[in-house]
Amino acid sequence: MELAGVITGAIALIISVLLAWKNYLSPFHIEIFCGYPRLEPLPCKLEDGSTVIRFSAILPLYFTNTGAREGVIRDIVLVVNSAQNEWLFCPFFYTKYSISTEPALGTKLIKDPSNEPFYPVYLAGKSEVYKSIMFSFLKHERFPLGTNPLSDGKYSFTLKTLEAGKKHYETKLVFNVTLNNEQVNHLSTGNYLIPFLDEVKDKREKLHS
């Protein structure tokens, strides 16, 4: 009986410590989920005077802090890889998912008072927040825009965050979008595009197999 009591007490102590860790002491830990990206055509002038079409991206993002402690996301960057290029995107605005960015950010984003320049994201412990963020490419020697027109194929989107108190960006989400020739032409003629995520499309197709 004495041994059973000791074991029961030890188990109860372990459980209480684990619960205290989970509910009050666990560190800030972010998970990010994304809905379908909205791609907006963005004409870019090259040094030779010619123009190529690239895109900005409005991402509907859900941020979840699974830790008990609060924290701040200081910055978010988006890296997009295709067979031809690797582009770096930075957050410009919190915006409406349905809005059109228009060329060069456009008057709607600038004049609409509900759109705000990007600022750090705060999350309390065990909380979540939704943010629709407009990302646009940043000219960088490591991430040249390239001179080729948009091509069909797979585009990989990687979201990286920089949390307060940390020195390096961490990858939080990777998703893929495959554009066919018709969709590329649609973008290139000045129309926005909301493509399916490959990961979701693949799972849906398996439902019918």
Pairwise CA distance, residues 106 & 100, whole Å = 8
12-30 average pLDDT score: 66
**Tens digits of residue pLDDT in 111-150:** 677 788 999 999 999 999 999 999 988 777 777 777 788 8
Give buried/exposed letters for 144-179 (b at 16+ CB in 10 A, else e).
Answer: ebbeeebeeeebebbbbbbbeeeeebeebbebebeb
Q: What pLDDT sits at residue 110?
A: 63
Q: CA 22 → CA 27, 71, 123, distances in Å?
A: 9, 16, 16
Pairwise CA distance, residues 2 & 51, whole Å = 82
Q: What pLDDT sits at residue 7?
A: 58
What is the rounded end-to-end Cα distance, in angstroms, of the chain?
58
Q: Which residue has the higher pLDDT, 9 or 49?
A: 49
- Domain range annotation of the chain: 29-207
**Tens digits of residue pLDDT in 30-84:** 999 999 999 988 888 877 888 888 899 999 999 999 999 999 999 999 999 998 8
**Tens digits of residue pLDDT in 156-179:** 999 999 999 999 999 999 999 999
Pairwise CA distance, residues 194 & 192, whole Å = 7
pTM: 0.84
In eight-state DSSP terms, residue 69 is: S
Pairwise CA distance, residues 100 & 92, whole Å = 14
Q: What pLDDT sits at residue 12?
A: 55
User: How confident is residue 104, by pLDDT bands cut at 50, 70 and 90?
Assistant: very low
